[in-house]
Amino acid sequence: MEAALSPTVVDLEKQYLLQNYARYPVVLQRGKGCYVYDTSGKRYLDLIAGIGVNALGHAHPRLTKVIREQVGRLIHSSNLYYHEYAGPLAERLSRASGLARVFFCNSGAEANETALKMAKAHGHAISPDKFEIVALDNSFHGRTIGALSITGQESYRRDFEPLMPGVRFVPRNDITALEQVVSERTAGIILELVQGEGGIYAMTEAYIRKARELADRYNAILIFDEIQCGVGRTGSYFAYQLLDPPVMPDVMTAAKPVACGLPLGVVASNERASAGLGPGKHGTTFGGGPLVCRVGLEFFDILDTLLPQISGVGSYFRMRLTEISRRFSFIKEVRGVGLMIGVELEFPCKQIVLDCIEQGVLINCTHEYTLRALPPYIITEQEVDRAITVLKRVFKNAKRPEASQ
Ligand SMILES: Cc1ncc(COP(=O)(O)O)c(C=O)c1O
């Protein structure tokens, strides 16, 4: 009786948590592989993986083992001392990225803040007028003031203006517009090679090469935000390595999957960009502790063997979605790279997401009209087939909202 009267976790959240999230009506309790279970025991196929974080799914035995072991040894040591795992993980990331140095922090936004400071310090060392950052319309770089300042979406920025000055936005893949804004005043250019939150839009090779060329011409720092598209998601370690030859950034930021759910942001940079952040110029209390770094190392070991299958299963997923898109005229486009997949609808997809939850599949909606799948890298073709069966059923019963009919 008492239990029935006690507030649910949902009530408690509504009463005590900052009301900044619109959560779906599911209370998750545990997971295994590509599946998660709610508190009633209902099982869901997880196609969103904590928004691209749980790259090895849930309760991966190797991660569980090292986490258990490390928690009993040393969780945090501070930046005052060395520990066993930051150096080896930095070496691993440096080799994988081709960039000389690594800084560890706690989130994507913090990684981008660091990248911005690198660009600004680089510009400042040349001229007080070299402070502009060129960023893209429809981009997403995080919620802190610096990261928000380079996020090209009015809805996120509006209430917090004025933000950091000197940011010039340009449309993606518009080479002429890019040429018009990059100048001697540019300290940095920042791109997501595949815009994630903005609806899964890839940059063209010509555009990426032009950004590199302009950064070189005007001595600016080229930053690739690989927080959503990096660390295996597209089938290579980093999305810029899909190009042949690769286009190297000066700075690359990563986060989401690096420690598979433990908070670990990464900034990898060449010597030129790293130079601005010398002793005392930057830091963070929690970044790069022994627990997260050890998990990151374990993840990289597993990723080495998983990488070859990611683009295969990703292509299979997109092929199956394209197949069903022919049956449903309201599907405007299926797009993506590797296991970063968007399905754009003619109407807002919130109800589709709720119907999928009902049918035991977790998928998300970004930019209102685009269903987004960022499944664990371990997803199999059989699990993709299962997702397709559910999506077909949901699409078949979909009712277009009045306004968009
Ligand atoms: C491309 C990109 N950059 C930055 C961020 C911000 O990362 P975080 O939420 O960890 O601060 C995100 C988060 O979705 C992202 O997708």
- The CATH number for 278's domain is 3.40.640.10
Q: Does ligand 1 come within 6 angstroms of the Cβ of 113?
A: no
Give the residue, by CA position, lying nearest to ligand 1 atom 7: 108
Same domain, 78 and 148: yes
**Domain end (from 285, 302, 319):** 302
Same domain, 179 and 108: yes
Q: Given ligand 1 and candidates 194, 197, 233, 264, which is best to mutate, with the most ligand atoms within 8 Å of its CB? A: 197
Same domain, 31 and 86: no
Q: Is 388 exposed, middle or buried (0-12, 13-18, 19+ CB in 10 A)?
A: middle
Q: What is the CATH number of the domain that holds 399?
A: 3.90.1150.10
Q: Given ligand 1 and candidates 20, 114, 140, which is best to mutate, with the most ligand atoms within 8 Å of its CB? A: 140
Whole-angstrom distance, CA of residue 120 vs CA of residue 283: 16
Quote the pLDDT of residue 224.
99
Same domain, 163 and 275: yes
Same domain, 333 and 398: yes
Whole-angstrom distance, CA of residue 100 vs CA of residue 112: 18
Q: Does ligand 1 come within 6 angstroms of the Cβ of 188?
A: no
Same domain, 38 and 106: no
Quote the pLDDT of residue 127.
98
Tens-place pLDDT, residues 75-105? 999 999 999 999 999 999 999 999 999 999 9
Q: Does ligand 1 come within 6 angstroms of the Cβ of 186?
A: no
Same domain, 259 and 275: yes
Q: Does ligand 1 come within 6 angstroms of the Cβ of 229?
A: no
Give all strands (DSSP E) within 288-369, no chain letters: 331-337, 340-345, 361-362, 364-366
**Digitized pLDDT (tens) for each residue of the chain, 405 residues in all:** 444 567 799 999 999 999 999 999 999 999 999 999 999 999 999 999 999 999 999 999 999 999 999 999 999 999 999 999 999 999 999 999 999 999 999 999 999 999 999 999 999 999 999 999 999 999 999 999 999 999 999 999 999 999 999 999 999 999 999 999 999 999 999 999 999 999 999 999 999 999 999 999 999 999 999 999 999 999 999 999 999 999 999 999 999 999 999 999 999 999 999 999 999 999 999 999 999 999 999 999 999 999 999 999 999 999 999 999 999 999 999 999 999 999 999 999 999 999 999 999 999 999 999 999 999 999 999 999 999 999 999 999 998 776 544
Distance of CA 142 from the midpoint of ligand 1 (Å): 5
DSSP string for 92-126: HHHHHHT-SEEEEESSHHHHHHHHHHHHHHHHHHH
Q: Does ligand 1 come within 6 angstroms of the Cβ of 193?
A: no
Q: How large is the angle between the packed helices 381-396 and 290-325, nearest 10 degrees? A: 50
Distance of CA 229 from the midpoint of ligand 1 (Å): 10
Distance of CA 51 from the midpoint of ligand 1 (Å): 9
Same domain, 350 and 224: no
Using DSSP, how many helices (H) and how many strands (E) does the chain show? 14, 17
Nearest partner of 223 among 146, 112, 137, 129, judged by Cα: 112
Which residues form the domain of 213? 64-302
Whole-angstrom distance, CA of residue 344 vs CA of residue 199: 8
**Domain end (from 302, 329, 363):** 302
Same domain, 298 and 311: no
Residues 6+ apart with CB under 8 A from 199: 138, 342, 344, 366, 367, 369, 370, 372
Same domain, 167 and 278: yes
Q: Does ligand 1 come within 6 angstroms of the Cβ of 107?
A: yes
Q: How large is the angle between the packed helices 86-97 and 290-325, nearest 10 degrees? A: 40
Same domain, 250 and 346: no
Quote the pLDDT of residue 402.
63
Rounded to a whole number of angstroms, the CA Rg of the chain reads 22
Cβ neighbours of 15 (radius 10 Å): 9
Distance of CA 112 from the midpoint of ligand 1 (Å): 9
Q: Does ligand 1 come within 6 angstroms of the Cβ of 225?
A: yes
Q: Does ligand 1 come within 6 angstroms of the Cβ of 370?
A: no
Q: Does ligand 1 come within 6 angstroms of the Cβ of 196?
A: yes
Catalogue the long-range contacts made by 305-313 (C-beta closer than 8 Å, 24 or more residues apart).
Answer: 306/232, 306/377, 306/378, 307/232, 307/235, 307/236, 307/237, 309/377, 310/232, 310/233, 310/234, 310/235, 310/338, 310/339, 310/377, 311/234, 311/235, 311/338, 313/339, 313/379, 313/380, 313/381, 313/384
Q: Does ligand 1 come within 6 angstroms of the Cβ of 197?
A: yes
Q: Does ligand 1 come within 6 angstroms of the Cβ of 190?
A: no
**Domain end (from 260, 278, 302):** 302
Q: Does ligand 1 come within 6 angstroms of the Cβ of 109?
A: yes
Token pair belonging to 222: 């080229």
Whole-angstrom distance, CA of residue 114 vs CA of residue 373: 28
Whole-angstrom distance, CA of residue 170 vs CA of residue 214: 14
In ligand 1, the atom with minimum distance to the C-alpha of 228 is: 16
Same domain, 46 and 183: no
- If one counts the domains in the chain, the total is 2
Distance of CA 143 from the midpoint of ligand 1 (Å): 8
**What are the angstrom distances between the C-alpha of 230 and each of 49, 242, 258, 375?**
15, 11, 9, 14
- Which helix (H) or strand (E) covers residue 187, if one does? strand 186-191
Quote the pLDDT of residue 258.
98
